[in-house]
Amino acid sequence: MSDTFRLTLAQLNPTMGDLEGNAAQARAAWTTAKTAGADMIALPEMFLTGYQPQDLVRKPAFAAHARAVLDTLVADCSEGPALAIGLAAWPEGEEKPFNSYVVARAGKIVAEIHKHHLPNYKVFDEKRYFASGDISGPFTIGPVRIGTPICEDAWYDDVTETLAETGAEILLVPNGSPYFRGKQDVRYSLMVARTVETRLPLIYLNMVGGQDDQIFDGASFVLNPGGQLTHHLPSFESSVVHIDFDATPDGWRARDGNKAPQPDGPGADYAAMVVALRDYMVKAGFDRAVLGLSGGVDSAIVAAIATDALGPENVHCVMLPSEYTSEHSLEDARGVADRLGCRLDILPISGPRAAVTEALEPLFEGTTPDLTEENIQSRLRGLLLMALSNKFGAMLLTTGNKSEVAVGYSTIYGDMAGGYNPVKDLYKTDLFEVCRWRNANTMDWFKGPAGEVMPERVIDKPPSAELRDDQKDEDSLPPYPVLDDILKRLIDVEQSVAEIVASGHDRDVVKHIEKLIYLSEYKRFQSAPGARLSQRAFWLDRRYPIVNQWRDPS
């Protein structure tokens, strides 16, 4: 019996529904593992199918296709290390498919584990899609008995304790665990608890990449009993790593290995947004982006994200000035585009606006200018940007931050027009911090330039939509530090109005913000998807009725 065991971890980026492409990635990683003399290679939860598949997984034809691709992959990987990979499996006679993890060796499936605990909160709705499997026992590969709790199964002690009691010597946890701010600390604490309870080493293997609003950040790690960290794979990057285990008198132990630095705070949020945009576009078949660059901070950071995701040659910035656009804004837009190396075109809206004003004049006779005329400017910009998107095949990016999205400080069919919004889940005050981080930092996989990518004035000047003379956001909204604190309490923490007032906020202001949030639900329902950075992102995390007359009476 060998006293060593080599396990290859493949922290890779699948594409939803690209069964053959995902299998090709797995096959290439398996070949790498074979060359390295590995005993086994492991890929993440649901890697073959992609995650989360939502109702796609309820199509029997999809599950049957996945099984056929799996059978071919197992046959191709018959002479070498064992292969472990996740997929949706739908056995004949079952009402629903399972979230399954299959282990194959020598051309045969030797174990098939079905996920037991199905998460059904926040972005997860697995009880809708999957059947719950029974708790499985460990399987044997070479000298080692391995227990595999699938993702959520390791968040509870019953599955891991059962595996330990039935002879598991190593715990392998395949995951499709999406990013949110602070998620890594949650993972650590839970997985350390499992190693303390079972006295077994644990491998936490997570997928990487973006899928719609969700970002899988990788950051896989290996723990020896007691929570001793031996390996940490990079965040937001694909990685194939070989982990060596030794048999000791106290059981199997992982040898110490590389621990990649992990981003946190604004840097982690920024990297997540870059990955989210890159994968949303590439997996949807786009390689170029277009956006309106106003000279303000929101469009500046979106331009930076797009440049880091796609490269400056694939980002087209357009400035659409009106008579209310300041010279500073024109200068700042140019400053951002020059620093990033992106193309910038100036496309005034004065002509189209005059034509629309003339067309509407007979019907608007006797009225005074108001928000309607301001919104016409925004909608003209959306129309022109969408024309460029259609003509040149570039995805239009929208740039509204979470503070604006929350209170409806945006124009539907205007500045909300677009295919993706990288900053949709980033409050304005947090956005400022992300901008300052990007001006001072970069990562080696970013495609944009290092150094300051936006002038300091863009970050420091008072925010304005510039739709009328001397307009400032604070004309209509509380200062952003006040607004964001109220929004975070109402949305992220779900505090009552009374609790927020007790924290020091004016009740009339809180009630006004509450009203704006509820009244803007219809806008968010029609808005572009965007990167999820928190546990209360608008879409799957927070699902509210569009028509709703309830208001907090406290």
Selecting among 20, 92, 112, 115, the annotated active-site residue is 115
Q: Consult the annotation and say whether 152 binds a ligand.
A: no
294 is in an annotated binding site: yes
Q: Which residues sit opposite 344 in a β-bridge? A: 317
393 is in an annotated binding site: no
- Between CA 23 and CA 48 the distance in angstroms is 6
Has 137 been labeled as part of a binding site? no
Cis-peptide into 52, omega within 30 deg: yes
Tokens 């499985």 found at = 136
Read off the amino acid at residue 461.
Answer: K
State the CB neighbour count (10 A cutoff) for residue 3: 10
Angle in degrees, CA 214, 216, 219, rounded to 5: 155
Asked if residue 314 belongs to a known ligand binding site, the reply is: no
Residue 372 assigned to a binding site:
no
**Is 100 within any annotated ligand binding site?**
no
Q: Which of 45, 152, 237, 466 is catalytic?
A: 45
Of the residues 151, 317, 342, 435, only one is catalytic, namely 151
Q: Is 552 annotated as a binding residue?
A: no
523 is annotated as contributing to ligand binding: yes
Check if 115 is active-site: yes
The b-or-e profile of 29-52 (16+ CB within 10 A means b, else e) is bbeebeeeebbbbbbbbbbbbbbb
179 touches 215 (CB < 8 A) = yes
Residue 297 annotated as binding site = yes
Contact (CB, 8 A) for 27 and 240: no
Q: What DSSP element (H or E) covers 63?
A: helix 60-76
Query: DSSP characters for 140-209?
Result: EETTEEEE---GGGGGSHHHHHHHHHTT-SEEEEEE--B--TTHHHHHHHHHHHHHHHH---EEEEE-EE
Known binding residue 295? Answer is yes
List, as residue ranges, the binding site for deamido-NAD(+).
Answer: 375, 404, 523
List, as residue ranges, the binding site for L-glutamine.
Answer: 121, 177, 183
List, as residue ranges, the binding site.
Answer: 121, 177, 183, 292-299, 375, 399, 404, 523
List, as residue ranges, the binding site for ATP.
Answer: 292-299, 399
Active site residues: 45, 115, 151
